[in-house]
Amino acid sequence: MDALVKISEATGVSMDWLCTGSGAREHLTSLTLSRDEPIMVDEGRVAIVPRIGTRADAGPGALVQIEDDDVSYFGFRSAWLRAQGVEPKAVRLLDIHGDSMLPTFKDGDTALVDTGINRVVDSRIYAIVFAGLLIVKRVILKRDGSLILRSDNRDVYEDEMVPSGEVSDLHVAGRVFWAGGSI
């Protein structure tokens, strides 16, 4: 019950709504939660991870736009996040939009992103901001310093080459390490 109280206080969601799904969702004196980092509850055993208010495009790209009203939260066991090799406070949720990463991600999936990465590893999937667009792509490192942004749905989408001179224009927001969605 203590964990529910902490979740309620941290997210501004009423205990009644958390326990039963009915009643007023918000506290009258709801707290604003910064999505700068997840909240740790249950003595650090659970991380309440914020979902950022934009969708990453698994297609041509989505404009990067974050609106505070669109933030929601999911709880994940801290031990599980650490077993994935990520620090719980560096994790964010991101909605996937489009079909370019099929079969790995479906349109509407929610992905966990490790924003605490300090290097890009060849052939892993990343959330990337490029020219004001947020995209999710597999990154292929080339010996000449250039990159290939690859869609997993290669029958429909071609590789995008990023010349070495333009790599500095990319911002790697984080590594996508898990995704889930409706079946």
pLDDT tens, 40-99?
A: 887 889 999 988 766 666 665 554 444 445 568 899 999 999 999 999 999 999 999 999
Q: Is 108 within 8 Å of 69 (Cβ atoms)?
A: no
| Whole-number percent of the chain with pLDDT over 90 | 55
- β-partners of residue 94 are 111
Cis peptide bond upstream of 103, omega within 30: yes
Query: By the 8 A CB rule, do 23 and 16 touch?
Result: yes
For residue range 141-153, what is the model confidence (pLDDT) as tens digits? 999 999 999 999 9
Phi-psi sector, 12: left (phi>0), alpha (psi -120 to 50), beta: left
The residues facing 176 across adjacent strands are 113
53 phi/psi in degrees, rounded to 5: -85, 45
| Model confidence band, residue 18 (pLDDT cutoffs 50, 70, 90) | low
Structural domains of the chain in order of their starting residue, each with its CATH number: 54-69+92-180 (2.10.109.10)
Confidence of residue 34 (pLDDT cuts 50, 70, 90): very low
Q: Are 119 and 113 in contact (CB under 8 A)?
A: no
63-68, long-range: CB < 8 A, 24+ apart: 63/132, 63/133, 63/134, 64/129, 64/132, 64/133, 64/134, 66/35, 68/32
